[in-house]
Amino acid sequence: MSKNLVIVESPAKAKTIEKYLGSDFHVLSSVGHIRSIVKKTKDGTPPIDVQNKFETIYEVDPEKKKTVAELRRAVKDSQEVWLATDEDREGEAIAWHLCEVLKLDPATTKRIVFHEITKSAIEEAVKHPRTVDMSLVRAQQARQILDRLVGFELSPVVWQKVPGGKSAGRVQSPAVRLLVEREREIDAFNGSFQFKVTAEFTHQGATVKAELPQRFDTEAEARVFLESLLGASFTVADITTSPSTRNPGPPFTTSTLQQEANSRLGFGAKATMGSAQKLYQEGKITYMRTDSVNLSGQAIAAAADYIKNAYGPQYSQVRTFKTKNASAQEAHEAIRPTDMSAERGSSNEYDQKLYNLIRTRTLASQMTPAKLEKTVVKIAISTGKLLFEAKGEVIIFDGFLKVYGGSKKDADILPAVSSGDTLALDTVIARQVFARPPARYSEGSLVKKLEDLGIGRPSTYATIINTVQVRGYAEKGEGEGNARDVIVLSLGDNQVEREVVQEKTGADKGKLVPTGGGQVLSDFLENHFEQVVDYDFTATVEKEFDLIADDKLDRNKMLLDFYTPFHELITQSGGIDRSTVAQAREIGIDPKTKKPVLARFGRFGPMLQLGDTADTENKPQFAPLPAGTKIETVTLEQALHAFQLPRTLGETKDGEVIKANVGRFGPYIQVGKLFVSIKPLDPHDITLDQALELYAEKLKTEAEKNIADFGDGIKVLKGRYGPYITDGAKNAKIPKDIEPSEVTHELAIELLASATPAKGRFARKTTAAKKAPAKKPAAKKKPAAKKVTATRKAAK
């Protein structure tokens, strides 16, 4: 019998902690949450009983039954149980669920928390155990119950009323609204341009780059100015030097880590949190879900020691930062390395980049400011009153910049000049510059906006951004931009020369772009469920969760205040006319058929329609919206061009017809039942030779993927994650000690018999696959239902 059983959330963490605690402690993992709110009860009782103080029925997740059974056995064999789940609300809720399932008393069971997985932190936590904080648990329950009620009641309305609508969520919907509003700001932006004048001078062999502070509104004005420079002389009129300092930022919170990792490393929010989770579990950094910029006294001292030894005492400056967020818990720490001197945090290159970012940011926060000297040289023109300005910056003392660099572009360093010096003009250019529309959100900038609005919390930012993409309401842009003409005037050979060059504009690569579905959903919610997408209301709900966590607000009162008006809107939604949601726009009339051409939103997104659905004799034709166009802006010419598809290109050597078309997932060619993506080629322009080449490559890939085909639908295939067996309904892994080529038909059948049904849109829906769940006898479920119902009281 083990004296002590410690239960943590992750297996990786369990191994590390057991190593620190010694032989008297056995550490097991719950592998995250073990219970969820049931989706449906057998007796018809609502999973969340709104009329009875929001009593909630939970059940053990099917994939966690084995884990729970193992934990139950371990509890019986232990004298003392310690709950060491994460220190946030989700972790506290998991601790409470463990108490419920393992029949532990939450009022007496020992609960320990720690900000970092180090020997000293673990030992200190064991010395100061507490019990489960039920206020934190109630705050987590409030969030979970509210999200379930909104999702389960609002999503069916979205399915019925919104074309292509999938779901709507309490926090994801305001995020979609932000993206949609920004997209419309970009669409409504009225572009303007001016002419910016830059020049290069030389002085004693050194180059001086300068710019005219004034800009010209027309090409004619810019030309007149350049002409005025013919025969002019240029003199240094004034030199201004001013010292400045640049201070380091605070160590990372969850939000600022996601923003900076996105900006500097190109990491998405989900990838950042996944990488940070690994570093935390391996004991390399402190807990990664935090809104505090606080550092412990021990961490500050360790940073100071390292900085003094590595760079010298002149680089060390002890700093404390105050968290702006009133709801932040100052007892928590910012994200920092557990060992300030450790340069390596992981053997994985991806995780090491994030570790290095966290470490250098933490060290920089405890270093002296950088001392800079800014210089402005004003250059007079003999033929006019305007002045050129040359600006430069010199780093006098690098301070924190030694470890955490500043901007990507270094400021120009000016050569030594004095007032009255004459400069020689080398080149001068007046270039047309365009006003920029508002920038689309990146994952990092969206996290910042959500934080500024008070929407979401450290544990939810990554989930929000991932959900809006998974649901198809936003996608990562891939566009490199469109070319536009730019006028450039230059002075040369005693005359002004004009040139038209091209530059890219409107690139959205890596930015979050709302889809047509996202726009339709956002408009629908704003028109009929404003409460769900209102920024202030959503932020107020977050603050109320914080009040519940602080035991300053009753959970059920908060839930009732939200649910009553929300449910009233749900009951009134039956009167919403679906035809008024995402109305079609008539673009014009097809000159050949005299039928109307419409741009509208369909089940799979924006589309074009030729003909009327009311015409019973001739069914309308449909085509995807051309790339780069929108329902509001697509022209008749573009639409008619789209209806030229599908286009027959020719035939293969075997006489099969090759057609080019655009589908739900982009442009493709079709040969029989085989579909081949042709991105980035255009189906209107692709040639037969190009199509045959892509078809041959696809056949080769398919052949290489097929390791064995037993002729009855069972195959051995090479997949993304290695070889596997499939019959279309189920996929089975091949044991590591068996070569894929050695798999027999009998072995394949045996492995498939114990496999789970295949997932994804390519899984074959067979009769057997549909009947599989029904094999479980209903009688065995009755006792489980009683246990589940018994958790109602505990959830109050």
Q: Are 577 and 557 in contact (CB under 8 A)?
A: no
777 burial via Cβ count (<10 Å: 0-12, 13-18, 19+): exposed
Long-range contacts of residues 597-601, Cβ cutoff 8 Å, at least 24 apart? 597/636, 597/639, 597/640, 599/625, 599/631, 599/634, 599/639, 600/631, 601/163, 601/164, 601/516, 601/517, 601/520, 601/631
- Give the pairing type, strands 78-83 and 110-111: parallel
Q: Tokens in use for 506?
A: 């409107």
Label residue 415 exposed, middle or buried (CB < 10 Å: 0-12, 13-18, 19+). Answer: middle
- Active-site annotation holds for 280: no
Amino acid at 700: K
Alpha helices in 48-189 (DSSP H): 65-76, 89-102, 119-127, 134-161, 172-188
Under 8 Å between Cβ of 179 and 420: no
Q: Which helix (H) or strand (E) holds 84?
A: none
Let me know if 23 is exposed, middle or buried by CB neighbors in 10 A (0-12, 13-18, 19+).
Answer: exposed
Q: 393 vs 243, 359, 414, 474, CA distance in Å? A: 10, 28, 8, 41
HSE-up of 550 (CA within 13 Å, CB side)?
A: 11
DSSP element (H, E) containing 117: none
Structure tokens at 346: 């992981």
Q: In terms of C-beta density within 10 A (0-12 exposed, 13-18 middle, 19 or more buried), how is residue 346 classed?
A: middle
Please, is 268 exposed, middle or buried when counting C-beta atoms within 10 Å of its C-beta (0-12, 13-18, 19+)? buried
| Interatomic CA distance for residues 643 and 646, integer angstroms | 8
Secondary structure of 647-662 in HEC code, one letter for each residue: EEEEECCCCCEEEEEE
Query: Is 387 in contact with 381 (CB distance < 8 Å)?
Result: yes
Which residues of 286-418 form beta strands (DSSP E)? 370-381, 387-397
- What is the distance, to the nearest Å, from the Cα of residue 598 to the centroid of all Cα atoms in its chain? 34
Note every long-range contact of 352-360, with CB atoms under 8 Å and residues 24 or more positions apart, other chains counting.
353/265, 354/261, 354/265, 354/267, 354/272, 354/275, 354/276, 354/279, 355/279, 355/284, 355/285, 357/257, 357/260, 357/261, 357/264, 357/265, 358/252, 358/257, 358/276, 358/279, 358/285, 360/403, 360/404
Structure tokens at 657: 């017809």
Catalytic residue, chosen from 280, 287, 668, 724, is: 287
Q: Rounded distance, CA 762 to CA 756, Å?
A: 15
Consecutive H or E run containing 195: strand 193-203
Cβ contact 91:112 at 8 Å: no
Catalytic positions are 287
